[in-house]
Amino acid sequence: MRLVLVALLLVSTALAWQAYAPGEGPFAHLSDDEFAEKYLMVVNDFDGLEAPSFDEEAFERAMGKNSGYDLRQAIPQCVSPIRDQAGCGGCWAFAITSTISDRECIENGLSDTRFFSPQHLIDCEDSKFAASGCRGADTQTAFKYTDVRYGGGLRLDTCYPYKSGTTGVPTTCKSNKCTSLDEEVRVFSSTNIQLWNDYDNIAMAQEIKEHGTIYMSMQVYSDFKSYKGGVYKIGAGAVPKGGHAIRVIGWGKDATDGYYWICANQWNETFGEKGYFRIGFNQYIGYKAGTADFDREIDSFVEFI
C-alpha cells in the first residue's frame, strides 16, 4: 500500500494539473476509445507531426515579461458561453461558429454575443470543404464555407438549432431554412481569414489581444478526458486518441508551469474549469490555428481550396 501511495504522489507531482479521481468526472463512464468515438475527430491529420516548440525569451520581448491577457476580463460581453457538443464530433463547427460569434460582438461593439449555428455547418459542409459531419473536419478548410462565394455563409441557432448532440449524426442540410436577413449571415470573404500552420505563439497572442478570439486544433491524449483544473501537460504514458478544435481567448503564466493558453471547450461546464481549460504553450496544440474578421483585410491569407 505504501508503494502504491508513493507512486500516486509521483504521478500527481509530475502532472501538476488536477485530474478527477477514478470514477469521477463527466467522462468517467467512457473508455478512452468510447470517448474518442463520441467527442473527437480522427487523428490522421496529426500523423508524423512534432510537438511545437516555444521560445520564452522571444515571446517576452514581444509581449512583455510575465504577460497575460484574458478576454473574459477585457471584453466579457463578447465571450460566448460554454456550449455542449455532446455525442457528436462536431467540435470543428462549434470552434468556427463560436469564434465568429465572439468576433462579431467585438468588431461591431455589441453588448452581447449571438449564437451562430454549428448544426448548419455539420449538415451542409461536405468533402469539398474537408468536412465529415460528426466525424470531424479540417477546421482551416471548413472555415472557407463561411464565405458565401465558396460556401453557404452562416445561420443563427434561432433558425437552425443543434440536434446532432443527441443523435450522433448530421441531419438533412436545410440550405433555405432561414428567410430572415437577421438569421442568414453572409459576411466573410477569403481575404478576411487568417491562418497559422507554423504555430507562431507571438502572432497568435498579438491577434487575441488586438482583435479577439481565435481557434486552435489540438491533439487529444488519453489523460485529457480526466482533466479537472490547472495547466494541462501531457502525462507520461498518455497516447493520442484524436483531434479536437477549441477557442482560445487568452494566455497567462503560472509560477510553476509557465505560459499557457486559456481555452474555451464545448463539453459543457462540467468539464475542467467550468468548461474552460489551460494548456502549456509547448504542448500538442495549435498545429493549425486561425480566425476571421468582418472588415479587416489580411494580406497573409493562405489559399487552401
Q: What span, in angstroms and rounded, lies between the C-alpha atoms of 277 and 262?
A: 6
Q: What span, in angstroms and rounded, lies between the C-alpha atoms of 155 and 173?
A: 12
Is 215 within 8 Å of 96 (Cβ atoms)?
yes
Cell of 139: 477546421
At 125, which amino acid appears? E
263 flagged as catalytic: no
Bridge pairing between strands 214-221 and 154-155: unpaired
Strand partners, 18: 229
Set 201, 244, 263, 282: catalytic member: 244
- The answer to whether the Cα torsion of 298, 67, 217, 125 is positive or negative is negative
244 flagged as catalytic: yes
Q: What span, in angstroms and rounded, lies between the C-alpha atoms of 45 and 139?
A: 11
Set 91, 124, 134, 178: catalytic member: 91
Q: What span, in angstroms and rounded, lies between the C-alpha atoms of 155 and 182?
A: 9
Bridge pairing between strands 276-280 and 231-232: parallel
Set 88, 105, 201, 265: catalytic member: 265
3-state secondary structure 1-37: CHHHHHHHHHHHHHHCCEECCCCCCCCCCCCHHHHHH
91 flagged as catalytic: yes
Cell of 293: 474578421
Q: What span, in angstroms and rounded, lies between the C-alpha atoms of 137 and 89?
A: 9
Task: Report the catalytic residues.
Answer: 91, 244, 265
